[in-house]
Amino acid sequence: MRPFDYYKPTTYEEAFALLTRPNQVMMPLAGATDLIPMVRDERWQPDGVVDIKNLPGMRDLRVTPEGLYVGAAVRMAELVRSPLVNASPWNLLAQGAQAMGHEQVRHRATLGGNLCTASPAADTAPALLVLEALALIRGPQGERRLPMGEFFLGPRKTALQKGELLIGVLIPEPPAGSVGTYVKLSRRKAGDLAIVGVAALAFPQDGGYRWRLALGSVAPTPIRAPRAEEALAQGYDEATIAAAGELALESCSPIDDMRASAVYRCEMVKQITRRAIEMTVQKLAGA
Amino acid sequence: MLHEITLTINGESYPVIVKSHYTLSRVLREQLGLTGTKIGCENGECGACTVLLDGEPVNSCLVLAVEAEGHRIETVEGLSKGGQLHPLQKAFIEHNAVQCGFCTPGMLMTAKALLERNPHPTEEEVRFALVGNLCRCTGYLRIIDAVLEVAEKGGEA
C-alpha cells in the first residue's frame, strides 16, 4: 500500500488546517473500511489521512429537542444494537445499518462514511431520505445544514466542499404512528451490496396514510419516489401497490453492473417496492 | 510517518514502532510474529484476518495499527489457556470443521465474539454472524455444527 501520514486531531481547527493543506491530498478517515481498499487499489492516493473519530461530538448518539443526533463516526453496529435507534420511531435507520456489510465491517464502518462515500447503494441512505434527515456539515467557514436529498450529487460525489466535514445527521422525530421497512435485494442474503434497496415509511394523516419511499442502487444517487408516494396516499389495495411499483420505476435510471443488469433492476424495483409496502402495511395492521 | 505505540494483545503489552499506513494485520504478523491471524483478500471480504477489538470482531486488514492503540486486541493465539484448547477449538477438531485451516483463526474469533454476546444463538444467528468469514473447503455445515455444539453445552466461550 502506498504510504501516507496519519493524523488524529482533537479539535476542529486542527482538523480543518490539516484537511486544507495546500498541494497535498488529505482525506478524512473514519471507519477506514472503504479508504483502505481504495488506497490499496491506488484509486485514492492520499498524502495524509485525518482521523476524525476523536473530534467532539463525532461519536455521540442522543436525542435532542430537534430529533435524534447521530455523530458521523457512530458505527453501524452501534446503530444496530442501540436501544435508542432500534426503538420506534427511528428503527428504519437500524434496519439499514443491519443490512450493510457483515459483522466485521459493521464494527468499523461509520454512518458518516456510508454517506460520504456516496455510493448509490449506501444502505443507510434510503432510510435517512424517508426520515427526512438533515446532514450537519462543518467547515473552516462555519456550519451549515442540508436536507439529505441535497447531500448526494452523484456516484461518490457529495455536496461537501474542500475542507468540510460531515459531522453528523439530525433525524427529526417522524410523525406519530410512523412505521417503516427497509428491504434489500442482493446476491446473498447478507454481506453484499444491494441490487435494489427500498425504504418505505407510512404514517396516519387525515383519516388515511401518507407514505414516503426511497430507493438505492437504481440511480446515480439514492432517490425518493414522489409520484409513487402520492399514489399510495389514495390507499394501499393491491392495484394501488402495483401502480406505486410502476411509478417508483419512473424515478429510477439503473445501470448494468457486475451485480445485475439494468433490465433486471427495473423488474426488481417493482417487486422490492411492492414488498417494502406490503411489509409496512402488515406493521400498520399490527400497530 | 512513524508512530511509537503500545498494542495490548491477548492481555500483554507490545511496544512497537509502526508506519502510518501499516495495517493491524501486517503489524501482527510481520512485526510481532503473531502469524495465527491470516491475510486473505486484504479487502474486508474474506474474514481470514478477523481479530477482536474490545471484544468485537473486525477485519484487521481494514484497521490501521495506529488506530488500534488503546484498544484490547485478541487474536487466535490468545484462545488456548495453560495448554488447554478453547471449547471452540476443541469443537472445531471434533466436528472436522477444519480442512485447509486458513479460515479457521478468523472463524474462531468471530464465533467467540458471537457466543460472548449471545451464548445461545440459533442456527440462523450463527450463520448471520459468520457471513463475513469465507471458507472454501468445508461447505460451512461442520463449522456451524461446531459453534452450535459449544453454545448447547454452554462451553465458556
Whether the pLDDT of residue A120 is over 50: the answer is: yes
| Contact indicator for A251, A227 with CB cutoff of 8 Å | yes
Burial class for B33, CB neighbours closer than 10 Å (0-12, 13-18, 19+): exposed
pLDDT tens profile A242-283: 999 999 999 999 999 999 999 999 999 999 999 999 999 999
The fold of the B87-153 domain, in CATH, is DNA polymerase; domain 1 (1.10.150)
Cβ contacts of B57 on chain A, cutoff 8 Å: 103-104, 107
pLDDT tens profile A30-68: 999 999 999 999 999 999 999 999 999 999 999 999 999
Q: Does residue A56 lie within any of the structural domains?
A: no
> Among all chains, which residue has been given the C-alpha cell 455510493?
A119
Whether the pLDDT of residue A229 is over 90: the answer is: yes
Residue A187 and residue A163 share a domain: no
Tell me the percentage of chain B whose pLDDT exceeds 70.
98
Q: What's the pTM?
A: 0.96
Is B25 touching A (CB cutoff 8 A)? no
pLDDT tens profile B35-81: 999 999 999 999 999 999 999 999 999 999 999 999 999 999 999 99
| Contact indicator for A29, A52 with CB cutoff of 8 Å | yes
Alpha helices (runs of H) in A131-202, residue ranges in sequence order: 148-151
| Contact indicator for A188, B130 with CB cutoff of 8 Å | no
CATH number at A83 reads 3.30.465.10
pLDDT tens profile A103-113: 999 999 999 99
| Contact indicator for B122, A95 with CB cutoff of 8 Å | no
Tell me the percentage of chain A whose pLDDT exceeds 90.
96
Query: Structural domain of residue A130, as residue ranges?
Result: 61-171
- Cis amide leading into A89 (omega within 30): yes
> Rounded mean pLDDT of chain A?
96
Instruction: Say what the pLDDT of residue B156 is.
Output: 54
Q: How far apart are CA A244 and CA B136, in angstroms?
A: 42
Contact A104 B61 (CB under 8 A): no
Contact residues, A window 16-75, toward B, CB-based 8 Å cutoff: 29, 31-33, 36-37, 39-40, 48-49, 51
Are β-strands A208-216 and A196-205 bridged in parallel, bridged antiparallel, or unpaired? antiparallel
Q: Find the helix or strand (DSSP H, E) in which A247 lies.
A: helix A238-250
Whether the pLDDT of residue A71 is over 90: the answer is: yes
Residue A37 and residue A97 share a domain: no
Query: What are the structural domain ranges in chain B?
Result: 2-78, 87-153
In chain B, the residue whose alpha carbon lies closest to the alpha carbon of A193 is B45
> Looking at residues A157-162, what average pLDDT do you find?
96
| Contact indicator for A123, A96 with CB cutoff of 8 Å | yes
**B2-78 carries CATH number 3.90.10.10:** no
Q: Which of A97, A99, A121, A119 is nearest to A110 (CA)?
A: A97
Q: Give residue B155's pLDDT band: very low, low, confident or very high (50, 70, 90).
A: low
ipTM: 0.96
